[in-house]
């Protein structure tokens, strides 16, 4: 699965990738070099977190696209357009976005579109009203421009590399193009009801994107707590859980487990369910009395998820074989 | 004022912008490192009284470092400011080459020598994060030599620090250690507790600052800065919890090789216990910790008690 990342020069595309996938601190992106040609980032942290992001240079113009660029756009499942919210007026960028929508939809009708209204931080965007205003302004204006054409309506996210918003937006993007997500979500709903859990996430430990969650709405506060918990678990395990000469990936192993209790009566519970994949749930302390029951149900979820992904792998392989056969 | 007085006067000095208010705010007022970017300069002296380990009280004097304030400190305020000092902490910005800074330090040392000859002196070479990793030792050693040369033969301890990593906790843990009258009592009790639980090590942290108060290890560990790292990790997480309007109580983290417990312990401390023996059930260790709470309440009190 490929995701294309487009947008003006200095809109923040490369910074997003560096912060989320290469763990560079947001401050350090101030000195990133401008991207001059297409770059591919392959993410393969475990069978459940597997995709490619294609970083286009800011100079890219859809009207002058070459054969190579065309090929990338024909094969991608989703296009993210990054709009620099601190670079007003947006008019020209929005026109560029609409041309991209039209062109790419014309040659790749399955493709999803997503706009990141980015750099939504700093003094300009201190309060949430301002953020919503920008969101409405942008989406209204795009809707007007595409009103008479047969193009799908894009989705919008407000993002910044200085907080968790970029992780949330990317989590949603990844879920949109992962066909198994619906099944996982159903299984998580069942798990949640059986064990009286308040909220559950499946996290890619390396990027801290969540690749699935139950069907109740995501609130940033619980997401942030779980994400910070992963940091704690990895950091503490790096100090005490690393036996000589092992590599850093092995600190998170089959027995990795963590419990954090808060005075609000909430318990955070984390379990490894696959290589570099964690299930994290929030449970009321009263419902956490039978931990073995939760463990048993998590084990069932792990098995179910594994089967779903194996079926998918097999399907892809069969597909390829029949292609090469023809 | 004597070593045993529960009121401890701590002077925090250094040139303006060196980072004094930043570190004080992180350690004692639960600031995130990035929150310090909003701090303005300190106007004259900011005095705060900090309760520590239940009964100790630190009078922390954060002395604004602009030149005109500094002049006052060494002229009209010299007698009052430098009297009864238990600890002097002088902060240097590692980048600063300003000769005035060293002169101010020299004046501090002289004033301390005159008015509080028993005070402990600590020098923090700060903002080390701005120096590339491979050059840090060299920059630190150079500055340290210069500091020692200007310390009039007094005993000074230098630390390299940055608000962005655990070095801040290392320095401040060592500093507060000098303010606990009977810290041996604590170490001995931890030693016994550690063997009773068959643990690898146990560490006590002060509740609100998460500074390391005492520790005992029955096993060698290659990372000598691990306790400060834990302070930093847990403190950050405590702040995330407060964003969610909750308070951190306890955590257990394990993998195949270890199990770590961090738990509220006495009314003024947290405990961390590390075990690498997978035959000991976590529930048993948890029970041991709970049982020891009451006993340690008394031990902590004894360690901070004023000797007669
Ligand atoms: N890079 C870096 N910056 C730091 C560090 N510590 C503090 N700062 C920054 O230094 C600036 C000045 O910090 P303050 O704590 O206000 O300085 P001060 O020593 O109290 O200054 P006065 O009150 O005028 O004496 C702030 O913007 C901090 O964010 C550090 O370890 N590394
Ligand atoms: N304030 C703010 N600045 C950002 C954000 N994301 C990126 N930037 C800055 O935007 C600039 C351009 O980023 P870059 O990734 O090179 O843009 P690209 O040309 O689209 O790849 C850099 O200086 C980044 O530090 C953000 O979320 N907020
Ligand atoms: Mg200050």
Give the model confidence (pLDDT) of A193-235 as tens digits.
988 999 999 999 999 999 999 999 998 889 999 999 999 999 9
B252 inside domain:
yes
pLDDT at A29 over 60: yes
Cα A182 from Cα A178, distance rounded (Å): 9
pLDDT at A325: 63
Instruction: Report the number of distinct structural domains present in chain B.
Output: 2
The CATH number of the domain holding residue B20 is 3.40.50.300
pLDDT at A7 over 80: yes
Minimal CA separation from B100 to chain A, in Å: 31
Q: Which of B253, B289, B290 to mutate to test the interface with A (most CBs of A within 10 A)?
A: B253
A188 and A164 in one domain? no
pLDDT at B221 over 80: yes
B75 inside domain:
yes
Q: How many angstroms separate the alpha carbon of residue B150 from the centre of ligand 1?
A: 24
Per the structure block, which two tokens stand in for B188?
């001995």
Give the model confidence (pLDDT) of A145-162 as tens digits.
887 677 888 999 999 999
Give the model confidence (pLDDT) of B198-215 as tens digits.
999 999 999 989 999 999
A158 and A201 in one domain? no
Q: Is the dihedral of CA B255, B258, B259, B260 positive or negative?
A: negative
Give the model confidence (pLDDT) of B90-142 as tens digits.
999 998 888 888 999 999 999 999 999 999 999 999 999 998 888 899 999 99
B197 and B140 in one domain? no
Taking the CA atoms of residue A234, residue A240, residue A244 and residue A246 in that order, the dihedral angle to the nearest 10 degrees is -20
pLDDT at A245: 64
Predicted structure pTM score: 0.86
pLDDT at A247 over 90: no
Cα B115 from Cα B117, distance rounded (Å): 6
pLDDT at B1: 43
Ligand 1, atom 2, lies closest to the CA of B127
Q: List the single residue in B248, B253, B256 with the smallest CB-CB distance to A258.
A: B253
A284 and A268 in one domain? yes
A8 and A155 in one domain? yes
Cα A141 from Cα A199, distance rounded (Å): 36
Cα A62 from Cα A96, distance rounded (Å): 8
Residue of B nearest to A233 (CA): B253
Give the model confidence (pLDDT) of B46-103 as tens digits.
988 988 888 888 899 999 988 889 888 888 888 888 999 999 999 999 988 888 889 9
Give the model confidence (pLDDT) of A303-318 as tens digits.
998 888 888 778 878 8
The CATH number of the domain holding residue A95 is 3.40.50.300
ipTM for the predicted complex: 0.83
pLDDT at B6: 65
Cα B251 from Cα A72, distance rounded (Å): 47
Ligand 2, atom 22, lies closest to the CA of A30
B187 and B166 in one domain? no
CB-count burial class (<10 Å; 0-12, 13-18, 19+) for A244: exposed
pLDDT at B243 over 90: no
- A3-7, A18-22, A275-279, B151-155: lowest mean pLDDT where? B151-155
A155 and A137 in one domain? yes
Cα–Cα separations (whole angstroms), residue A323 to A48, A125, A311, A317? 24, 51, 18, 10
Cα B84 from Cα B97, distance rounded (Å): 31
Give the model confidence (pLDDT) of A94-148 as tens digits.
999 998 998 898 898 889 999 999 999 988 888 889 999 999 999 999 988 887 6
A224 and A100 in one domain? no
B277 and B202 in one domain? yes
Please judge whether B256 and A260 are an interchain contact, meaning their C-beta atoms are less than 8 angstroms apart. no
Cα B81 from Cα A171, distance rounded (Å): 56
**Quick one: which of A261, A229, A286, A271 has its CA closest to B250?**
A261
Cα–Cα separations (whole angstroms), residue B172 to A197, A262, B112? 40, 27, 20
CB-CB neighbors (< 8 A) of A256 in chain B: 254-255
pLDDT at B123: 95
User: Residue A326's pLDDT band (boundaries 50, 70, 90)?
Assistant: low
- A31-45, A155-169, B216-230, B282-296: lowest mean pLDDT where? A31-45
A146 and A219 in one domain? no
A187 and A131 in one domain? no
Which of B159, B177, B195 marks a domain boundary?
B177
pLDDT at A51 over 60: yes
Which of A114, A148, A176 marks a domain boundary?
A176
> Is the shortest distance between the CB of B126 and ligand 1 below 6 Å?
yes
pLDDT at B193 over 70: yes
Which of B145, B177, B209 marks a domain boundary?
B177
Please judge whether A252 and B244 are an interchain contact, meaning their C-beta atoms are less than 8 angstroms apart. no
Name the maximum alpha-carbon separation found in chain A.
64
pLDDT at B308: 44
b/e code A6-38 from CB counts within 10 Å (16+ = b): bbbeebbbbbbbbbbbeeeebeebeeeeebeee
Give chain B's length: 308
B192 and B124 in one domain? no
pLDDT at A191: 92
Taking the CA atoms of residue A278, residue A284, residue A286 and residue A292 in that order, the dihedral angle to the nearest 10 degrees is -10
A264: domain range? Answer: 181-325
Ligand 2, atom 28, lies closest to the CA of A119
A274 and A166 in one domain? no
B152 and B199 in one domain? no
Which of A156, A176, A196 marks a domain boundary?
A176
Reduced DSSP (H G I as helix, E B as strand, rest coil) percent helix, strand, coil of chain B, to 5: 45, 25, 30
Q: How many angstroms separate the alpha carbon of residue A132 from the centre of ligand 1?
A: 34
Beta bridge partners of B206: B269
Per DSSP bridges, beta strands B212-217 and B248-255 are unpaired
B39 CA closest ligand 1 atom index: 16
B2 inside domain:
no
> Is the shortest distance between the CB of B66 and ligand 1 below 6 Å?
yes
3-state secondary structure of A37: coil
B33: domain range? Answer: 7-177
The CATH number of the domain holding residue A203 is 3.30.450.190
pLDDT at A4: 93
| Mean pLDDT of the region B240-248 | 90
Which of A130, A145, A176 marks a domain boundary?
A176
Instruction: Report the number of distinct structural domains present in chain A.
Output: 2
B44 and B153 in one domain? yes
Higher-pLDDT residue of A229 and A32 is A229
Residues 6+ apart with CB under 8 A from B75: none
CB-CB neighbors (< 8 A) of A267 in chain B: none
Residues 6+ apart with CB under 8 A from A231: A208, B233, B236, B237
B168 and B20 in one domain? yes
B106 and B61 in one domain? yes
């Amino acid at each position: 699965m490929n995701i294309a990342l487009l947008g003006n020069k200095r809109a923040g595309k490369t910074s997003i990738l560096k912060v989320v996938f290469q763990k560079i601190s947001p401050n350090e992106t101030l000195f990133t070099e401008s991207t001059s040609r297409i770059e591919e980032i392959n993410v393969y942290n475990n069978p459940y977190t597997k995709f490619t992001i294609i970083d286009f240079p800011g100079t890219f113009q859809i009207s002058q696209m070459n054969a190579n660029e065309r090929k990338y756009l024909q094969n991608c499942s989703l296009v993210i357009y990054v709009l620099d919210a601190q670079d007003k007026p947006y008019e020209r960028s929005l026109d560029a976005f609409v041309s991209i929508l039209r062109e790419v939809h014309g040659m790749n009708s399955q493709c999803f579109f997503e706009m990141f209204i980015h750099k939504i931080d700093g003094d300009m965007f201190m309060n949430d009203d301002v953020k919503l205003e920008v969101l409405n302004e942008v989406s209204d204006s795009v809707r007007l421009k595409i009103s008479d054409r047969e193009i799908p309506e894009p989705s919008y996210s407000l993002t910044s590399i200085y907080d968790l918003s970029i992780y949330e937006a990317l989590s949603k993007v990844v879920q949109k193009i992962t066909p198994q997500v619906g099944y996982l979500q159903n299984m998580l709903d069942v798990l949640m009801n059986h064990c009286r859990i308040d909220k559950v996430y499946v996290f890619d430990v390396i990027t801290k994107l969540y690749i699935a969650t139950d069907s109740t709405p995501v609130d940033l506060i619980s997401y942030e707590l779980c994400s910070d918990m992963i940091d704690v678990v990895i950091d503490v395990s790096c100090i005490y859980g690393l036996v000589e000469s092992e590599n850093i990936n092995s600190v998170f192993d089959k027995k990795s487990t963590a419990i954090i209790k808060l005075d609000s009566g909430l318990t955070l519970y984390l379990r490894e369910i696959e290589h570099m994949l964690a299930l994290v749930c929030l449970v009321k302390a009263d419902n956490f009395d039978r931990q073995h029951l939760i463990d048993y149900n998590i084990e069932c979820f792990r098995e179910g998820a594994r089967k779903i992904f194996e079926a998918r792998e097999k399907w892809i392989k069969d597909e390829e074989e029949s292609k090469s056969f023809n | 004022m004597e070593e045993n007085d529960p009121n401890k006067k701590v002077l925090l000095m250094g040139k303006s912008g060196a980072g004094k208010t930043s570190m004080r705010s992180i350690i004692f007022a639960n600031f995130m490192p990035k929150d310090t970017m909003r701090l303005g300069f300190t106007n004259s002296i900011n005095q705060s009284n900090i309760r520590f380990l239940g009964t100790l009280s630190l009078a922390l004097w954060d002395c604004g470092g602009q030149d005109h304030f500094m002049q006052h400190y060494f002229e009209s305020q010299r007698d009052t400011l430098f009297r009864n000092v238990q600890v002097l902490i002088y902060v240097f910005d590692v980048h600063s080459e300003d000769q005035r800074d060293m002169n101010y330090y020299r004046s501090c040392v002289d004033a301390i020598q005159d008015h509080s000859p028993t005070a402990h002196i600590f020098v923090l070479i700060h903002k080390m994060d701005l120096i590339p990793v491979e050059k840090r030792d060299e920059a630190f050693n150079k500055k340290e030599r210069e500091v020692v040369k200007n310390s009039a033969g007094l005993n000074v301890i230098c630390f390299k620090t940055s608000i962005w990593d655990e070095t801040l906790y290392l320095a401040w843990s060592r500093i507060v250690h000098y303010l606990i009258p009977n810290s041996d009592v604590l170490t001995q009790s931890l030693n016994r507790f550690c063997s009773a639980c068959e643990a690898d090590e146990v560490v006590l942290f002060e509740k609100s600052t998460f500074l390391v108060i005492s520790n005992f290890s029955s096993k060698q560990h290659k990372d000598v800065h691990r306790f400060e790292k834990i302070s930093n990790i847990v403190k950050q997480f405590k702040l995330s919890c407060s964003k969610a309007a909750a308070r951190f109580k306890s955590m257990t983290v394990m993998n195949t090789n270890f199990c770590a417990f961090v738990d509220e312990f006495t009314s003024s401390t947290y405990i961390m216990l590390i075990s690498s023996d997978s035959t000991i059930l976590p529930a048993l260790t948890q029970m041991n910790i709970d049982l020891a709470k009451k006993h340690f309440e008394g031990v902590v009190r004894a360690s901070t008690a004023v000797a007669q």
